[in-house]
Amino acid sequence: MSKLLVIRAHPLTSENSKSMRLTDAFLKTYVETHPDDDIIDQNLYNIAIPEIDLDLFSAWGKLREGMPFVRLHEAEQSKLTLFEGYTTQFLNMDKIVIANPLWNLQVPTRLKAWIDCICVAGKTFRYNEQGEAVGLVHGKKALHIQAAGGVFNSQDPASQYLRTMLGFIGIDDYTEIAAEGMDHDPARSDEIMAAAFAKVEEAAATF
């Protein structure tokens, strides 16, 4: 039995979002082909995601100086608890699916904030004696699902960013599925989505 974490980074549902529609299709097939797996389906727009801000920097600094957690300010405690909770949740998963739209050539800001929660020195990466970063996350599988209005062949900044960051922490079993060009060529939108549906369903069966 494996543990699957699905990270949705879109405020809209599958009724209005192509990336969420593809994610629903993936999950339908995944549940059918992996009935015993545990699945957490999490939309970042329905939960609190802490950004790295003054409260977090202050909390980390105080803890390094030996201050007990209970003496931190309420906002520091709250954000630190959330941040570390997402780190731990990620580390406990076997498989990760990240689904998002391409917005202005980048990932939604909430997805960036979540990525910051899983890129933690000493937990998901470390620096060796030469000062080089070494990923500590091994044995996990990751899948990136993205919908885009233009055609980028997965070389857009968002795709490159996620590919780089997950590789940075050590994930090398990484797959990308992109539905691209629906706004560029609206007449082919249904055809493009049909091809993407086939890819996510095929991927789900063996993920």
Cα within 13 Å of Cα(89), Cβ side? 19
Tell me which DSSP letter residue 106 carries.
B
- 22-30: average pLDDT: 98
Per residue in 44-67, pLDDT tens?
A: 999 999 999 999 999 999 999 999
Per residue in 89-105, pLDDT tens?
A: 999 999 999 999 999 99
Cα within 13 Å of Cα(134), Cβ side? 9
Please report the pLDDT score of residue 126 as a whole number: 97
CB 191 within 8 A of CB 156: no
- Cα 145 from Cα 179, distance rounded (Å): 8
**What average pLDDT does the structure give for the chain?**
97
pTM confidence score: 0.96
Domain ranges of the chain: 3-206
Residue 40's alpha-carbon distances to 7, 57, 118, 157, 198, in angstroms, are 8, 29, 16, 27, 23
The domain defined by 3-206 carries CATH number 3.40.50.300: no
Q: Which amino acid is at 169?
A: I
pLDDT confidence tier of residue 119, bands split at 50, 70 and 90: very high
Please report the pLDDT score of residue 76 as a whole number: 98
Please report the pLDDT score of residue 62 as a whole number: 98
